[in-house]
């Protein structure tokens, strides 16, 4: 079976989460994917767990890499060198993906008005709960109302690889900061449409709610929301980037485990 999409997953000290994440990925109903798993210098059992779980899926080609230079951007760069499929999905090692995640990614890319990116909705409650329904409705409304924004983190993003290359690639040397998952979508939107769907979801760890120290301020988020598409480059490269630099919010800050 020919792989159509590569799952790229960097990880660092995720022994408490990575098994469940990989179990959800190897349980995918659509098997047309490969996995590139990049250990970014873990000091726990994450690499051994990753190899053990991935080995259960003999039909899925999995490449295990080690990137010793600290930082998610370095891990992503190491993995990107091994992506040779038409599509790319970035996943996080603390996120659960439903069995139809890959199938829905591929179906959305194959749909009408072909998108250059496909985003999943992050849920923090049981799929059929009232809270999840409200969350889905909110994200779908925002995706229609604020089309020039990103409404999903790197754990929920998939890309047309050629469109991503035309946008300058997943990584931008001019953006060494946090929020790289939003910056790349800003560039990708110059290439085409980003697709969302109410039934395309994932379940990140709720520990992310404690990461306010490595994100943007409420004021910055407000300006992002209401900056028109034609001025979004200004927002990232003239406004937000310098502010993040002054606060020392470079991508390496994501290694700080303030939930521990």
Q: What average pLDDT score do residues 218-241 get?
A: 96
Nearest-5° Cα angle at 140, 194 to 126: 115
Q: What average pLDDT score do residues 187-210 get?
A: 90
Reply yes or no on whether the pLDDT at 1 is more than 90: no
In tens, the pLDDT along 54-106 reads 999 999 999 999 999 999 999 999 999 999 999 999 999 999 999 999 999 99
Reply yes or no on whether the pLDDT at 258 is more than 60: no
* 121: Cβ contacts below 8 Å, ≥ 6 apart: 135, 136, 139, 140, 151, 152, 156, 196, 198, 200, 201, 202
**CATH architecture, domain 5-209:** Alpha-Beta Complex (3.90)
Dihedral in degrees, nearest 10, Cα atoms 18, 19, 25, 28: -160
Crossing angle of the two packed helices 46-54 and 18-26, in degrees rounded to 10: 20
Q: Report percent pLDDT > 90 for the chain.
A: 90
Distance (Å, rounded) from C-alpha 42 to C-alpha 138?
Answer: 36
Band of residue 259 on the pLDDT scale cut at 50, 70, 90? very low
pTM of the model: 0.94
Nearest-5° Cα angle at 205, 253 to 34: 85
In tens, the pLDDT along 167-190 reads 999 999 999 999 999 999 999 999
Report the chain's terminal Cα–Cα distance, integer Å.
Answer: 41
Greatest alpha-carbon pair distance for the chain in Å reads 49
pLDDT value for 172: 92
41 neighbors 13 (Cβ within 8 angstroms): no
Reply yes or no on whether the pLDDT at 196 is more than 90: yes
Domain ranges of the chain: 5-209
In eight-state DSSP terms, residue 81 is T
| Cβ atoms < 10 Å from Cβ of 101 | 27
In tens, the pLDDT along 130-155 reads 999 999 999 999 999 999 999 999 99
Residues listed for the chain: 260
Distance (Å, rounded) from C-alpha 14 to C-alpha 93?
Answer: 7
């Amino acid at each position: 079976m020919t792989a159509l999409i590569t799952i790229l997953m960097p990880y660092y000290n995720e022994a408490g989460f990575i098994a469940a994440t990989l179990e959800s990925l190897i349980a995918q109903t659509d098997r047309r994917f490969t996995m590139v798993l990049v250990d970014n210098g873990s000091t726990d059992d994450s690499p051994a767990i990753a190899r053990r779980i991935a080995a259960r899926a003999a039909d899925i080609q999995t490449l295990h890499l080690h990137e010793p230079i600290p930082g998610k951007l370095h891990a992503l760069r190491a993995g990107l060198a091994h992506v040779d499929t038409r599509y790319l999905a970035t996943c996080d090692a603390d996120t659960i993906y439903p069995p139809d995640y890959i199938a829905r990614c591929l179906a959305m890319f194959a749909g009408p008005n072909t998108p250059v990116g496909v985003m999943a909705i992050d849920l923090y409650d049981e799929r059929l709960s009232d809270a999840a329904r409200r969350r889905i409705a909110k994200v779908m409304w925002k995706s229609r109302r604020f089309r020039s924004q990103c409404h999903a983190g790197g754990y929920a993003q998939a890309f047309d690889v050629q469109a991503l290359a035309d946008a300058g690639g997943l990584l931008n040397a001019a953006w060494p900061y946090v929020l790289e998952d939003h910056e790349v979508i800003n560039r990708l939107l110059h290439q085409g449409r980003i697709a969302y769907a109410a039934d395309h979801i994932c379940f990140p760890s709720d520990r992310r709610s404690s990461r306010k120290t490595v994100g943007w301020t409420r004021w910055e988020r407000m300006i992002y929301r209401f900056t028109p598409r034609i001025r979004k480059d200004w927002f990232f490269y003239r406004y937000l980037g310098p502010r993040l630099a002054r606060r020392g919010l470079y991508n390496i800050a994501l290694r700080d485990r303030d939930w521990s």
